[in-house]
Structure 1
Amino acid sequence: MARVSGITRLKLTALVLLIAGLFLACTQIPRYPVEEPVAARVQSFDYQRDIRPIFEQKCMACHGCYDAPCQLKLTSAEGLERGATTLRVYDGGRLEDAKPTRLGIDASSTAEWREKGFFSVLHGAEDGQLSGLDASVLFKMLELGRANPLPANSLLPDEITIGTGHENSCPSIDQFASYADSFPHGGMPYGTSGLTDEEFATLTQWVSEGAVVRPASYAPGQAEQAMAQRWETFFNQTGTREQLVARYLFEHLFAAHLHFPEVEGSAFYSLVRSSTPPGQPVQPLRTVRPNDDPEQAFFYRLQPLRQTIVEKTHITYALGDKRLQRFQSLFFEPQWEVTALPGYSYAERANPFITFSAIPAKARYQFLLDNAEYFVRNFIRGPVCRGQIATDVIRDQFWAVFEDPEQEAYVNDADYRQKTSPLLGLPGQKSDLLSLGPQWLEYNEQRNKYLDLRSTYYAERKPNGATLDELWDGDGWNQDALLTIFRHHDSASVRRGLHGRVPRTIWVMDYPLLERTYYELVANFNVFGSVSHQGQTRLYFDLIRNGSEHNMLRFIPQNKREALYAHWYQGSARIKHALTYTGLDTSTPVAMDYEGADDNAAVMQRFSQLLLARADKVSGPADTLNRCAQNNCQRAGISSEQQQLEQTLQPLARADGGSLPVISLLPEVTFLRVKQGDQRWVYTLVHNRAHSSVAFMFGEESRFLPDEDTLTLIEGTLGSYPNFSFDVSLDELPDFVEALSAVQKQDGLHKLADRWGVRRTHPQFWDIMADFKRSIEEVSPDQAGILDVNRYQNL
């Protein structure tokens, strides 16, 4: 072998060093050792029996979803073992899509999560010895919180920042000493009353013995197993029609918590695409969206949810024999054929109207209407509705109704459907920064072409104008026909029925609007997407709102439309209308009685009366709390004590920000618990901010109209994110309402909270939050979940 020269040896050394440098440069994502914890032989506590309830009581209210601090999800054993990371899910500034970190999907072992930048919060790696308390981030966080308690029911000091804008430090055990020095009040539970002595002792002992975690058991009975198998068989049929319907259903149910109401004690399930067939353990595909190319054979599977339910992601959908019969009649009794199954190309993902064109359009629309509240709740509780920029496209309170499926143009006219379908595509698939402008312009132009075509078609079809029977009445039984949506600054809620005062706007949704909203905000939305993807989604949702308002204006007298529209789009929004939106139809009349309705308020009042008359069988009891013409209006069917309570509260709902300044000072969602002996009643005070327009992404505060703010009173809790709460005895309720009504400035609200408020530091804070959850369980046990306190304010 020839001798290697000195120069060659230097070159080889340099090459090795270069390769090593490149390798190190490419591996700067934090990597943490896979700990091999050692547990004590005798365990004092069982995780599911003793430890999980503590986390449910005092930890999951913040650590339960995508926005859990440091992605530490404590709702399941798997989330606890995965640990924490500095990687952010919600990031409005990233220029490229981030790699997803969905628990149970994007990694299948602790080792994989460590490779993705997660670190243990339970213990360290100590070479076969118990790592002890000093190696546990979880214990150190609890110890820090206990060492620096806050005075009972006091305001938080300025150094404790709260809300979605709070920056999380996410220290590993090596960084904890520095973190504790910098943030002495950064312990857990963060910014709230702490653990009891017994809870702290229990967790301390559990961690010291190795922090053994055991997943929740899943032991369904025979009836539940049979129902799950029946549905998996339905979803995995091999006929082409059946495959296309299964795909359509999956793309609409993938975010649901499915359950079997006909089976007592049924667990909740999620519908996933799995690489494994029924009968084998589920292995979910790691696609970002439900309509991404699976790139392999797959099966639809029902995967049990072995986690604690948090309300903000709890979107329930019932499966059972009745639902199966409904799907059979909707999708398979009509005669239709599939020439070729669609693929998963860009165009097929962006336009579901073409992808699923073989399925009768009326069947698709009726499927959405059957559970309209479920689909609207998907818009609201899905990952898209997190943050003020994501939600400020809608007003703080409005009603949503739907076109009747027997008259809706798209589902009943094949020629019209063929002309409009190519115009109904949705942006957001191309997420690079350079695509933001071109994608927006392209889809905005298509939408305006569609809206012009739609306006012309409806005007020609009914030259005498819209009629009341074009609005869906729920077929006389379905209460999803009338919905109220509330926006709470950076979150939102939906409830069946028409609640609150007659709003400024009412959305009239047809099939193209309802389907596009779902695909834009749910199926096609990527919570890990770039700023371009998020921007395109937000901008197109603005067009959806505008389209719903255009649909409503058909039902308004033609000579009142411009004034009403101008009331919705004041100031600079008029410029946006000229540049972005399409024009109004001010010539086609309306075939409905508006006699005496001279101004905007009277027009909206008359339209609301017509709506209630059309859907009287499903409208439910009158909202006497908020729309009571007489001061002594009382609701039937409640006790005399509750009648007294509501009569005391009603004046709050009749005022506005001009006559009652405290309305504009209140948080968006305030819970009120009223007690008398063993009785208690729960209400929500919803602050509805008035805006000159909701047409822009930024500068919302400049468009507030505080004198026009209103308050809606709701029995029970509304919203997954309470912003504050009051605890008042029935005897003191008149004093509370009087004191509340007298508040003129923020200091007055703080004084009110001194007496009746439940601050984050209240000794009974966690017990009262749990009682609000119990109040939901008493009325709708299937809908109950842990409330999130990340947005709970410091009053």
Structure 2
Amino acid sequence: MSYRVVIGSVLLLLSSFASAQGPAPAISYTRDIQPIFTEKCVACHACYDSACQLNLGSGEGAARGASKIPVYDGERSKAQAPTRLFYDASGKHAWQGMGFYSVLDAQGSQAALMARMLELGHKTPLQPNAKLPEDIVLGLNRENMCAQPAEFDGYAKAHPREGMPLAVTGLTDQQYQTLQRWLASGAPIDEQGLAPSAKEAMQVLQWENLLNAPGARESLVARWLFEHWFLAHIYFEGGEPGHFFQWVRSRTPSGQPIDLINTRRPNDDPGTQVYYRLWPVQGVIVHKTHITYPLSAAKMARVKTLFYSGDYQVTALPGYGPGRRANPFETFEAIPAKARYQFMLDNAEYFVRTFIRGPVCRGQIATDVIRDNFWALFQAPEHDLYITDPAYRGQATPLLAMPGQNDDVGSVLSLWLAYRDKRNEYEVLRRDSYANAPAPSWSTLWAGNDNALLSIFRHFDSASVTKGLIGEVPQTMWLFDYPLLERTYYQLAVNFDVFGNVSHQAQTRLYFDLIRNGAEQNFLRLMPAGTREDFLDDWYQNSGKFKMWLDYESIDDDKASALTLDEKDPKRDFANQLLSRYGDLNARPDPINRCDGAYCSRPNIDPALQNAEQALSGLVSRPAAGMRVIDLLPEATMLRIQAPSGKRVFYSMLRNRAHSNVAFLLGESLRYQPGLDTLTIYPGVLSSYPNFMFNIPAEQVPAFVAEMENAKDAHRFEKIVERWGIRRSHPQFWQYFHDQTQYILETDPKEAGVLDMNRYENL
């Protein structure tokens, strides 16, 4: 297949073994089984947050089996052994040595666990498009039961309607029979690993040669590049559709099979000579882990210009260890800071995605420290004192170390206080140094390409990043300079250990709170003097004021900005001028949410869709106090709207929860301001985790909007769900669900991947 994520071809593959005459041919895992898993299982069984760690995106994952140990556990006192598929073990027996148990093997006279789970689900089908029974618990609050084969009978008795696929329209009869025949025959797996094309192999070799070039400078640059690429799904100019690659460290050089160095973190001591290698991403591409990055001849020229030109010298290579992880500014100080920052700016969307969409499948460790929607901007390198002033850089670098390397539970408070004080010392240095620098102006903002303006939306325990300025002018904006961007990336991507203990995770979360505050304060330097404290009072209401006094450094509210802004509403005026000045960089104009005239739809689209967008604009940017239905909506709802022409468009309807502040680790619900919640509606799939979907003919969108406006209670809202909703039990649920992936494939093919349905709600 050109794309492993094209769900529409699955049924065609399934027909290849069916025959009305003669004995049925042998079942092939690759041809017959994986397409069924991709269509009906991967949406719940992928990455670390798959139920029972059962990953059905590849033959290796299916053979590995399941585990009772959850990966995401914010309360464990000891770090646990990592269980990364393709990294930490290989083959069924190796995984069983790490506590996994088979779901494919028959147990004496008993069928395989998967066979029995599928049978339980197949004999208890759901009532079509009806709301599920309340006793079926869904979502992240579901208890991770993970019955072993010997425990299945007890599970089936206690949960008779919770076979597989769980609480969703199940397998077709043909799919069910195919899987059962395969399991009964011993579940053979004939999967072949993805291999690069000849053109890709040539580019792989060119890049590996660059990163493995001899010399101290070359080695240091390669290490820095690897640490900034390790999460990327690399694709090549002219490469095969659906082929992606990952950077890994190997004990073997190019031309030999990769001998993986599987340290917990990408910057842990490898213990041997390192060769940086590119290996193909195996298994089904899933959207939540699919953070793409392009490599091309132009990118290689750019990397060489930034890092391999100039006369800077590297006289000694730094070692590894906690100190080196804690402060990458010291570790890589020999590489010009301007080169490091410019490299990150060139692909800023990628870097912000690594720590906002991640880490690794779920961002719940850190998402409660950010607002539900905000815009991110970047400081131009020529206006960043860390880049331009060596004396300032020398003073700042020792203060930029980050916590989380020492995970002693008993030392959490002392470690946190030490790093907080060090960070605040840096903020004093920054505040006072910038007070003596030229006043910020429009040239302070980097405007190098369409990565310069980003929108972030939080969906409770996940988040998304998109190029362009989407939605109404948000309550807060962030301004990244180099020290802030690099620290955020290292704290939440490079140094974060998803298998770490409560101390490590708490220190990570607490320091990210300081990062958010720093980004907000950077932005407020652009606002008029005398207004900045008022903004902070709005952003840190109630208990937030105590947090400001306790943990944050005071802001400079005296040094004037060089921007001329409306004194009555300077932030909104700033946003309007930003949109006007940088319109060419704004990748996604947004007339639905920021309608400034009679026409609130995109030009040059199907007239029926224009009318639909015009109607949808009536739902956005209105507080929930005046539109009660917002209280009943989940975080990320998808609207599938189809015109009479047959063209369909997906829109994301995002609920933006308002908070008095987001400054504390616990008690988020106590800081909700539900009457101030709003909706953002924008074309495209802006979440890896859709919570629900409505399928609406374009001509019915005005009726849908009217019903939403009049839905004052749960009963009225349920009528909307019954008319237009695609419930988990809908007979065509999978067709509609995977059409989201197909839509991404059509509109932005490099980003396509199977979406996650673990958070799809029972409305």
- TM bucket normalised to smaller: over 0.9
Q: In the alignment, is the contact (CA less than 8 A) between 1:689 and 1:706 conserved in 2?
A: yes
Q: Which whole-Å CA distance do the structure 2 matches of 1:282 and 1:714 have between them?
A: 43
Q: SS where residue 270 of structure 2 aligns?
A: coil
Q: Which whole-Å CA distance do the structure 2 matches of 1:220 and 1:701 have between them?
A: 48
Aligned pair 1:115/2:97, yes or no? yes
Q: Which whole-Å CA distance do the structure 2 matches of 1:116 and 1:528 have between them?
A: 14
Superposed CA offset, 1:355-397 (max 9, x none): 0000000000000000000001101232367365531100000
Q: Which residue of 1 aligns with 2:454?
A: 483
Q: CA deviation at 1:609?
A: 2.1
1:295 to 254, 271, 274: 271
Q: CA deviation at 1:103?
A: 1.1
Q: Which residue of 2 aligns with 1:454?
A: 430
Q: Which residue of 1 aligns with 2:10?
A: none
Q: Which residue of 2 aligns with 1:23?
A: none
The one-letter code matched in structure 1 to 2:111 is A
Q: In the alignment, is the contact (CA less than 8 A) between 2:376 and 2:477 conserved in 1?
A: yes
The equivalences for 1:217-616 within 5 A come to: 217-265=193-241, 267-383=243-359, 386=362, 388=364, 390-462=366-438, 465-474=439-448, 478-595=449-566, 597-598=567-568, 602-616=569-583
Q: CA deviation at 1:700?
A: 1.1
Q: CA deviation at 1:218?
A: 2.9
The equivalences for 1:708-723 within 5 A come to: 708-723=676-691
Superposed CA offset, 1:332-367 (max 9, x none): 112211111000022111000000000000000000
Q: In the alignment, is the contact (CA less than 8 A) between 1:291 and 1:344 conserved in 2?
A: yes
The one-letter code matched in structure 2 to 1:734 is P
Q: Which whole-Å CA distance do the structure 2 matches of 1:580 and 1:45 have between them?
A: 62
Superposed CA offset, 1:595-632 (max 9, x none): 4x32xxx2211111232244232124631010012343
Q: CA deviation at 1:556?
A: 0.6
Q: Which residue of 1 aligns with 2:81?
A: 99
Q: In the alignment, is the contact (CA less than 8 A) between 1:123 and 1:137 conserved in 2?
A: yes
Q: In the alignment, is the contact (CA less than 8 A) between 2:450 and 2:586 conserved in 1?
A: yes
Q: Which whole-Å CA distance do the structure 2 matches of 1:724 and 1:650 have between them?
A: 20
Q: Which whole-Å CA distance do the structure 2 matches of 1:409 and 1:561 have between them?
A: 22
Q: In the alignment, is the contact (CA less than 8 A) between 2:48 and 2:360 conserved in 1?
A: no
Q: In the alignment, is the contact (CA less than 8 A) between 1:44 and 1:205 conserved in 2?
A: no
Q: CA deviation at 1:232?
A: 1.2
Q: In the alignment, is the contact (CA less than 8 A) between 1:215 and 1:306 conserved in 2?
A: no
Q: SS where residue 406 of structure 1 aligns?
A: helix
Q: Equivalent pairs: percent with the same residue?
A: 48
Structure 1 residues 43 and 383: alpha-carbon distance in aligned structure 2, compared to 1, 3 A threshold: farther
Q: Which residue of 1 aligns with 2:740?
A: 772
Aligned pair 1:624/2:591, yes or no? yes
Structure 1 residues 263 and 621: alpha-carbon distance in aligned structure 2, compared to 1, 3 A threshold: closer
Aligned pair 1:663/2:630, yes or no? yes
1:760 to 710, 719, 728: 728
Worse overlay, 378-387 or 55-64? 378-387
Q: SS where residue 74 of structure 2 aligns?
A: coil
Q: CA deviation at 1:216?
A: 3.4
Q: SS where residue 555 of structure 1 aligns?
A: coil
Q: Which whole-Å CA distance do the structure 2 matches of 1:748 and 1:297 have between them?
A: 65
Q: SS where residue 792 of structure 1 aligns?
A: coil
Q: SS where residue 490 of structure 2 aligns?
A: helix
Q: Which residue of 2 aligns with 1:154?
A: 130
The one-letter code matched in structure 1 to 2:325 is R
Q: SS where residue 558 of structure 1 aligns?
A: coil
Q: In the alignment, is the contact (CA less than 8 A) between 2:468 and 2:589 conserved in 1?
A: no
Q: In the alignment, is the contact (CA less than 8 A) between 1:311 and 1:785 conserved in 2?
A: yes
Worse overlay, 107-116 or 524-533? 107-116
Superposed CA offset, 1:691-742 (max 9, x none): 1100011111111112211111110111000000101112222111111111
Q: Which whole-Å CA distance do the structure 2 matches of 1:539 and 1:393 have between them?
A: 9
Q: Which whole-Å CA distance do the structure 2 matches of 1:572 and 1:482 have between them?
A: 31
Aligned pair 1:76/2:47, yes or no? no
The one-letter code matched in structure 2 to 1:553 is L
Q: SS where residue 262 of structure 1 aligns?
A: coil
The one-letter code matched in structure 2 to 1:256 is A
Superposed CA offset, 1:127-183 (max 9, x none): xxxx7xx33111111100112111111111122111112112111211111111111
Q: SS where residue 562 of structure 2 aligns?
A: coil
The one-letter code matched in structure 2 to 1:290 is P
1:88 to 43, 51, 70: 70
Q: Which whole-Å CA distance do the structure 1 matches of 2:25 and 2:330 have between them?
A: 59
Q: Which residue of 1 aligns with 2:696?
A: 728
Worse overlay, 398-407 or 170-179? 170-179
Q: SS where residue 713 of structure 1 aligns?
A: strand
Q: CA deviation at 1:115?
A: 1.1
Q: Which whole-Å CA distance do the structure 1 matches of 2:363 and 2:392 have between them?
A: 38
Q: SS where residue 530 of structure 2 aligns?
A: helix
Q: Which whole-Å CA distance do the structure 2 matches of 1:658 and 1:533 have between them?
A: 40
Q: Which residue of 1 aligns with 2:19?
A: none
Superposed CA offset, 1:438-497 (max 9, x none): 1111110011110110011111112xx3212111112xxx10000000000110001000
2:111 to 135, 155, 162: 135
Q: CA deviation at 1:263?
A: 2.8
Q: Which whole-Å CA distance do the structure 1 matches of 2:293 and 2:100 have between them?
A: 33
Number of aligned pairs? 740
Structure 1 residues 42 and 663: alpha-carbon distance in aligned structure 2, compared to 1, 3 A threshold: closer
Q: In the alignment, is the contact (CA less than 8 A) between 1:473 and 1:614 conserved in 2?
A: no
Q: Which whole-Å CA distance do the structure 2 matches of 1:57 and 1:265 have between them?
A: 19
Q: Which whole-Å CA distance do the structure 1 matches of 2:154 and 2:762 have between them?
A: 27
Worse overlay, 117-126 or 440-449? 117-126
1:682 to 644, 650, 653: 650
The one-letter code matched in structure 1 to 2:231 is A
Q: CA deviation at 1:266?
A: 6.6
The one-letter code matched in structure 2 to 1:502 is V
The one-letter code matched in structure 2 to 1:555 is L
Q: SS where residue 216 of structure 1 aligns?
A: coil
Q: SS where residue 540 of structure 1 aligns?
A: helix
The one-letter code matched in structure 1 to 2:473 is V
Q: Which whole-Å CA distance do the structure 2 matches of 1:328 and 1:676 have between them?
A: 49
Worse overlay, 672-681 or 565-574? 672-681
Q: Which whole-Å CA distance do the structure 2 matches of 1:233 and 1:710 have between them?
A: 51
Q: Which residue of 1 aligns with 2:5?
A: none
Superposed CA offset, 1:495-552 (max 9, x none): 0001000000010110000000000000000000000100000000000000001101
The one-letter code matched in structure 2 to 1:699 is G
Structure 1 residues 620 and 42: alpha-carbon distance in aligned structure 2, compared to 1, 3 A threshold: closer
Q: Which whole-Å CA distance do the structure 1 matches of 2:340 and 2:158 have between them?
A: 56
The one-letter code matched in structure 1 to 2:40 is K
Q: CA deviation at 1:634?
A: 3.8
Q: SS where residue 612 of structure 2 aligns?
A: helix
Q: Which residue of 2 aligns with 1:737?
A: 705
Q: SS where residue 495 of structure 1 aligns?
A: strand
Q: Which whole-Å CA distance do the structure 2 matches of 1:115 and 1:683 have between them?
A: 46
The one-letter code matched in structure 2 to 1:547 is G
Q: In the alignment, is the contact (CA less than 8 A) between 2:356 and 2:363 conserved in 1?
A: no
Q: Which residue of 2 aligns with 1:27?
A: none
Q: CA deviation at 1:125?
A: 6.3
The one-letter code matched in structure 1 to 2:65 is G
Worse overlay, 522-531 or 298-307? 298-307
The equivalences for 1:778-789 within 5 A come to: 778-789=746-757
Aligned pair 1:640/2:611, yes or no? no
Q: In the alignment, is the contact (CA less than 8 A) between 2:117 and 2:163 conserved in 1?
A: yes
Q: CA deviation at 1:751?
A: 2.2
Q: CA deviation at 1:660?
A: 1.1
Q: In the alignment, is the contact (CA less than 8 A) between 2:60 and 2:91 conserved in 1?
A: no
Q: CA deviation at 1:217?
A: 4.0
Compare CA radii of gyration and give the structure with the larger one. 1
